[in-house]
Structure 1
Amino acid sequence: MLEEILKQVALGEMSAEEAKEQLATFENLGFAKVDHHRKKRQGSPEVIFGEGKTSTQIIDISRAMITKKEDILVTRVNKEKVEEIRRELPEFQYHEIANLLFMKNTKDTVSSKGYIAIVCAGTSDLAVAEEAALTAEAYGIEVRRFYDVGVAGIHRLFAHIDEIRQATVSVVIAGMEGALPSVVGGLVSHPIIAVPTSVGYGANFQGLSALLTMLNSCASGISVVNIDNGFGGAYNAVLIHRLANNSK
């Protein structure tokens, strides 16, 4: 990219000011510095964490990304903010269960073999599971969902285990005691990204019990992200899937 910009400047096809703008690594909005070069460094554009931001801030950041023709993923955005945001930017697709907004601004397509399995213990964990599934799909990866297959009725998991085994990587989500990743980890030969959820009664401690169970798993090949972090689990799975396909 750098050589191409310098060539255009040398040929008089681009001004020095335009070149400076093209080479800028971030855009300063005052309240935020939008990282436009993240896709070049990491293969994926910056993601907007919606919690704690106002709808106006999310709109302004999104507009900055739209000018650079970047795909936009906004996580943890509640319904009240969504209504305000979509009045200004109706191109956003809203996924209510996951509290997630997505806008496709590129024509990029991803050609990859295989899929990521999203394995979810219970219906109460669906918000986190859908955040994970939709994040992976936003990055162009095929996802297969296996929901309500927790250890309380483990035969439900076994009904799908052959298909889960064929995945490149699994994101396994569970609350309560958080045992599901250990069970899946003992049945498959690919990496497991475990996501504890805050679902459970008092001694669950808002997901701490599930987190500790997953960190202490006796099954090999399990990595653990933070409580309710469906996005983080999916992002790690996407990186693994890309490496398996030798693609960015």
Structure 2
Amino acid sequence: MSPPHTVIDWERGARTGVPEVVFAQSKTVEQLRAIVEAHHERGRALLMTRLTAPQIAALADLPLDIDPLARTATLAAPEVPSGAPRLGIVTAGTSDLPVAREALHAARFLGLDAVLYEDLGVAGLWRLQDRLDEIAGFPLLIAVAGMEAALFSVLAGLVRAPVIAVPTSVGYGVSEGGKAALSSALASCAPGIVTVNIDNGFGAAAAARKFLPAPG
């Protein structure tokens, strides 16, 4: 059964390829506990995103794998299957890690063999160049960047793989809130970029799951 306050879409994964993932930020601790219990009773895996610090503290006694930086928690997360599609996730800066790690956990939860490359922004272009041969081997990339988000265009101009751009709200002044990064992603002159909403690491991972073929 679903909790009385939440109608869980148990068949969404079979119907769409991406199971229901719980957006936690606006929910009470009692609601989240009931959702976890419902999944536990059914023996179903669960991913929750956008947990707040008080929620994380209040759920610490539950059998959850919690990443406070990513603000995610998983229950009985499935192992990434052998031969799973490979996905590279590239961040511009350390400040982008919360969104990038949300994408990483979501991608692995969805069965992708995801690898995270941290702090390869174009302000020190040599950092990206040093890892480029490795990064270029992935069939699909997620790029996570704030400020002016130059990484999107630079990366898409160097690799064959399509790039899913995730603009982040990292920045200040005209970059504050991620609007400049979003505009940069949408206005890029490099072909092969698709863009999700600001800070939407989960959305990028869900798109990657649909873009990449299932193993076997």
Compute the TM-score of the two structures, normalised by the length of structure 1: 0.82
For residue 246 of structure 1, report the CA deviation from its aligned partner: 5.4
Is residue 83 of structure 2 the alignment partner of residue 112 of structure 1?
Answer: yes
Corresponding residue for residue 121 of structure 2: 150
- Structure 1 counterpart SS, 2:60: helix
CA RMSD of aligned residues (A): 1.7
Corresponding residue for residue 132 of structure 2: 161
Structure 2 distance, partners of 1:123, 1:28, is 38
For residue 198 of structure 1, report the CA deviation from its aligned partner: 0.5
Does 197-206 or 118-127 show the bigger shift? 197-206
Structure 1 distance, partners of 2:12, 2:38, is 14
Q: Work out whether residues 34 and 64 of structure 1, in 8 Å CA contact, stay in contact via their aligned partners in 2.
A: no
Structure number with higher relative contact order (C-alpha < 8 Å, ≥ 6 residues apart) = 2
Structure 1 distance, partners of 2:16, 2:49, is 19
Q: Work out whether residues 196 and 227 of structure 1, in 8 Å CA contact, stay in contact via their aligned partners in 2.
A: yes
For residue 28 of structure 1, report the CA deviation from its aligned partner: 5.0
The CA deviation string for residues 128-181 of structure 1, in whole angstroms up to 9 with x for no partner, is 111111111222322222111111011110111111111121000000001101
Structure 2 distance, partners of 1:165, 1:113, is 18
Corresponding residue for residue 94 of structure 2: 123
Match of 2:145 among 167, 171, 174: 174
Change (3 A) 1:105 1:214: closer
Is residue 17 of structure 2 the alignment partner of residue 46 of structure 1?
Answer: no
Match of 2:175 among 157, 182, 204: 204
Corresponding residue for residue 48 of structure 2: 74
Change (3 A) 1:190 1:32: same
Is residue 72 of structure 2 the alignment partner of residue 100 of structure 1?
Answer: yes
Structure 2 distance, partners of 1:174, 1:123, is 10
Q: Work out whether residues 140 and 208 of structure 2, in 8 Å CA contact, stay in contact via their aligned partners in 1.
A: yes
Structure 2 distance, partners of 1:116, 1:184, is 14
- Structure 1 counterpart SS, 2:48: strand
For residue 104 of structure 1, report the CA deviation from its aligned partner: 1.1
For residue 78 of structure 1, report the CA deviation from its aligned partner: 1.6
User: Which has the greater radius of gyration?
Assistant: 1
Corresponding residue for residue 13 of structure 1: none
Structure 1: where are the runs of 5+ without partners? 1-26
Q: Work out whether residues 116 and 142 of structure 1, in 8 Å CA contact, stay in contact via their aligned partners in 2.
A: yes
Is residue 30 of structure 2 the alignment partner of residue 30 of structure 1?
Answer: no
Runs of 4+ in 1 over 4 A off after TM superposition: none
Structure 1 distance, partners of 2:77, 2:155, is 36
Corresponding residue for residue 10 of structure 1: none
Compute the TM-score of the two structures, normalised by the length of structure 2: 0.93
Corresponding residue for residue 215 of structure 1: 186
Q: Taking every aligned residue pair, what percent have the same amino acid on both sides?
A: 39
